[in-house]
Amino acid sequence: MDALSGSPLGWLCLGITALFGVTMLCMDKRILAERANVLVWRLLPALLGLLSVATLGAGGGLVVFCAVCLVSSAYLGGRVLLPVGDKAVLITGSDTGIGHALAKYLDNLGFVVFAGVLNKDGPGAEELRQTCSQRLSLLQLDVTNVTQVKEAYLEVSEKVQNTGLWGVVNNAGILGFPADGELLPMSMYRRCMEVNFFGAVELSKTFLPLLRKSQGRLVNISSMAGGIPLPRFAAYGASKAALSMFSGVMRQELSKWGVKVAAIHPSGFRTGIEGTPDLWDKQTKELMEKLQADTKQDYGEDYLLGLKSYFLHMPMHCDADLSPVLNAVLHALLAKRPHGLYTPGKGAYMSLCIFCYFPLWFYDFFMSKMASTESVPSALRTSEAESKDL
């Protein structure tokens, strides 16, 4: 401790360390269940600061202390959640899937929930009426219907009045018919963009005055397909990628108003977005009718029908537990320092890292191996057979 006692810089380091530790202890108002973990991160800079001064001297100790303080501050800022209080949140697409589960989850936590549904008299809306508290309000809300969006704004504004709207969760979305991009009709591209992107933009622009008033949160439910290219998700992925880019730009632009924006990129979860067998039959028929003759011949009818069979089994490979997504949305809504991007679910973050940091040929190879069991178009099977004969 000679360096500490003999140097003004050492005394300054010790003083700052002590002041930091005392301040953090005084600010600790978190619940007892979390206090032990929080105290460790708040005392860590103080302990390391004293140790570093003793071993490295005053200058080195001060550098280490400052570095640990930054790491500790960043960690705690991401963990500290604001109280729910009377915070009001609007959720779109609450009939089924993530939106439905999120409406129940937030209502149970004490939020004032506005659940937008496509059908106010449907089974999803009725279940919310039966299971949720009186705080939850149902809104007839098709995000592609400008009139319904404006009516929802007026109803929400009237109910929140001076408290403002704390959060908007753009969850409403459609999957469309996952197939090779060449096979999809233009109507499918337009429909995905209309619901998944333009609907979210329309709703965000309409409700932003309320979010600016409360300095609240805008949360957009994108998809893993919105961050990385996935085969057979050209229409869906393009619409979600647009939503993710919109989120990033709005995060930068709205920061000056105190509004925080986050995008959620879930991996595969069982939400019912894939639709029903009847819907698949209808979409398959539409796809077959609109294909050009040469394209239909090259791919083969068995390949086209195999698309429906493959994706009807898609839910079997998805996680039924939606809690990772719900927890990510809650963190985006209440964290003092929410992340700009969340990747809940198995494989979502790993796939994004491979796409972003590895050569593209490696990513393409990785995806081709994952899809190696899929069927092959008719023309390619014929070419392979001819090559073997030669």
Positions annotated as catalytic residues are: 236
| DSSP state for residue 272 in the 8-state scheme | S
CA gap 192, 235 in Å, rounded: 6
Per DSSP, which regions of the chain are E strands? 88-91, 112-117, 137-140, 167-170, 217-221, 260-264, 341-342
Q: Which residues pair with 81 in a beta bridge?
A: 335
For 310, phi then psi, to 5°, come to -65, -45
CA gap 126, 141 in Å, rounded: 15
Supply 375's token pair.
Answer: 């069927």
- Long-range contacts for 64-69 (Cβ within 8 Å, ≥24 apart)? 65/13, 65/16, 65/17, 68/44, 69/20, 69/45
Q: Which residues pair with 219 in a beta bridge?
A: 169, 262
CA gap 234, 308 in Å, rounded: 16
* Cα–Cα distance list, 170 to 48, 173, 207 (Å): 44, 9, 11
| 8 A C-beta contact, residue 40 and residue 70 | no
CA gap 226, 170 in Å, rounded: 14
CA gap 246, 193 in Å, rounded: 13
| 8 A C-beta contact, residue 73 and residue 101 | no
CA gap 193, 206 in Å, rounded: 18
CA gap 140, 124 in Å, rounded: 12
| 8 A C-beta contact, residue 57 and residue 50 | no
| 8 A C-beta contact, residue 93 and residue 172 | yes
Residue type, 96: T
